[in-house]
Amino acid sequence: KAGVTQTPRYLIKTRGQQVTLSCSPISGHRSVSWYQQTPGQGLQFLFEYFSETQRNKGNFPGRFSGRQFSNSRSEMNVSTLELGDSALYLCASSLTVHEQYFGPGTRLTVT
């Protein structure tokens, strides 16, 4: 069974630009969660989508948004990028609340 895939793996953007990251979950998984990791911080929860609906949301500004498609693939968008948005963005898919399978992450650098 293929794992969780994320594209792109690396990205360099300039302050003020916007970016879209993509996550393809494991086949059959309907829940996709997004996390941000910055140096010294744990994985900070951004949001979770289930069957195309946002089910949970973390404490991030409205510049961070997401969506999920009917095939469960999810995208995360960050508008008006700031230097502090430089981070590793991980997505995780799950079938039940007892598990999360993580992708390899997208490393975003904002200059």
Partner 1 sequence: ILNVEQSPQSLHVQEGDSTNFTCSFPSSNFYALHWYRWETAKSPEALFVMTLNGDEKKKGRISATLNTKEGYSYLYIKGSQPEDSATYLCAFIRHTGNQFYFGTGTSLTVIP
Q: Which is nearer to partner 1, 20 or 58 (CB)?
A: 58
Following DSSP, what letter does each residue of 12-54 receive, concatenated?
Answer: EE-TT--EEEEEEPPTT--EEEEEEE-TT--PEEEEEEETTEE
Nearer of residues 14 and 28 to partner 1, judged by Cβ: 28
CB of 109 to partner 1, least distance (A): 16
Distance between CA 3 and CA 55 in Å, rounded? 23
Distance of closest approach, residue 100 Cβ to partner 1, in angstroms? 6
Residues that bind partner 1 (CB under 8 A): 3-4, 31, 33, 35, 40-45, 48, 55-56, 58, 90, 97-105
